[in-house]
């Protein structure tokens, strides 16, 4: 039987089929190449960040200066809180429901002896803004922030003033202290002016919170009185 010659329609369809296959191959190539390139970029950024120098670190302990005391807290535990008392100038062994501590440390988290952390606690914190500890002056009154629930699920205690003492770089993987000074209400006869210096230990590992402080006269609480 004689073969019918190709029609004009079939001759036009063949190039279209070939072009369609080429487009599909290009799409598959892009679907593989783009994610691979993104993964390589993310790996490169991570490695670059890990190689960046970390801020200066300190060994846990207490050192006194002319106008302040420098303290480094070993807050490397992810489970245990470390409690510090300003007037005694030392870490104390106690629990969060005790009135005898002023700040609690666990990694980057810092709590005051107040609010949801300890409803009977006398503490709180007030952010004085960006100012050197040596230049910080006492306000006539301070609206001390007490601890409240926060976090993604609104179930983690935090202090909205001193709890924001640091910033984190996702590129460099570094925790940097903010240049702010804070006024901390204590359970004693004096308050404390506080400024943070580092989040790193002397071996470069994270989790050692270093701050300087000086004791100052009590500042009146400027929060509106609660109605009974």
Q: Indicate whether 222 belongs to any domain.
A: no
List, in sequence order, the alpha helices (H) in the chain. Answer: 8-51
Q: Could you tell me which residues are beta bridge partners of residue 184? A: 125, 192
Q: Report the distance separating Cα 109 and Cα 175, nearest Å.
A: 12
Residues 111 and 1 in one domain: no
Mean pLDDT of the chain: 85
Domain end: 30, 51, 72, which one?
Answer: 51
| 210 compared with 2, residue with greater pLDDT | 210
* Residues 180 and 127: beta-carbon distance below 8 Å: yes
Cα torsion 136, 117, 175, 182 to 10°: value is: 0
If you average pLDDT over residues 78-84, what whole number do you get?
97
Residues 18 and 124 in one domain: no
Residues 66 and 162 in one domain: yes
Residues 148 and 193 in one domain: yes
* Residues 195 and 217: beta-carbon distance below 8 Å: no
Q: Indicate whether 77 belongs to any domain.
A: yes
Domain encompassing residue 38? 1-51
* Residues 106 and 154: beta-carbon distance below 8 Å: no
Amino acid 34: pLDDT: 62
Q: Per mean pLDDT, which range of 14-28, 33-47, 127-141 is the poorest? A: 33-47
Domain end: 51, 70, 89, which one?
Answer: 51
Residues 77 and 31 in one domain: no
Amino acid 228: pLDDT: 45
Q: Report the distance separating Cα 162 and Cα 43, nearest Å.
A: 34
Residues 92 and 153 in one domain: yes
Taking only the tens place, the pLDDT of each residue in 177-187 is 999 999 999 99
If you average pLDDT over residues 112-140, what whole number do you get?
97
**CA 198 to chain CA mean position, Å:** 12
Amino acid 80: pLDDT: 96
Residues 47 and 73 in one domain: no
Q: Indicate whether 12 belongs to any domain.
A: yes
Q: Is residue 45 scored above 90 in pLDDT? A: no
Q: Given pLDDT bands bounded at 50, 70 and 90, which one contains residue 152? A: confident
Q: Is residue 24 scored above 80 in pLDDT? A: no
| 189 compared with 46, residue with greater pLDDT | 189
Strand boundaries in the chain, DSSP class E: 61-64, 69-74, 82-85, 90-92, 103-106, 109-112, 124-130, 148-150, 156-158, 166-169, 174-177, 180-185, 190-200, 206-217
Residues 100 and 79 in one domain: yes
- Percentage of the chain beyond pLDDT 70 is 74
If you average pLDDT over residues 83-97, what whole number do you get?
96
Residues 9 and 66 in one domain: no
Amino acid 47: pLDDT: 52
Q: Is residue 40 scored above 80 in pLDDT? A: no
Q: Given pLDDT bands bounded at 50, 70 and 90, which one contains residue 155? A: confident
Number of independent structural domains in the chain: 2
Amino acid 192: pLDDT: 98
Residues 18 and 93 in one domain: no
Q: Structure tokens of 127?
A: 């952010």
Q: Is residue 116 scored above 80 in pLDDT? A: yes
């Amino acid at each position: 039987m004689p073969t019918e010659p190709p029609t004009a329609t079939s001759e036009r369809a063949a190039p279209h089929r070939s072009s369609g296959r080429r487009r599909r191959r290009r799409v598959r190539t892009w679907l593989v190449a783009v994610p691979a390139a993104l993964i390589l970029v993310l790996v490169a950024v991570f490695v670059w960040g890990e190689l960046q120098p970390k801020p200066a670190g300190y060994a846990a302990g207490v050192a006194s200066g002319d106008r302040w005391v420098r303290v480094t807290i070993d807050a490397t535990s992810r489970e245990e809180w470390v409690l510090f008392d300003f007037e005694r100038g030392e870490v104390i062994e106690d629990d969060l429901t005790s009135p005898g501590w002023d700040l609690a440390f666990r990694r980057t988290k810092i709590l005051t002896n107040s609010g949801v952390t300890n409803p009977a606690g006398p503490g709180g914190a007030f952010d004085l803004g960006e100012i050197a500890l040596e230049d910080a002056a006492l306000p006539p009154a301070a609206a001390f922030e007490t601890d409240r629930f926060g976090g993604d699920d609104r179930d983690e205690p935090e202090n909205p003033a001193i709890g924001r003492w640091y910033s984190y770089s996702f590129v460099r993987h570094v925790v940097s202290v903010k240049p702010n000074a804070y006024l901390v209400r204590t359970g004693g006869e004096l308050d404390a002016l506080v400024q943070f210096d580092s989040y790193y230990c002397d071996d470069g590992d994270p989790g050692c919170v270093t701050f300087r402080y000086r004791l100052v006269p009590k500042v009146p609480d400027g929060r509106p009185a609660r109605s009974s």
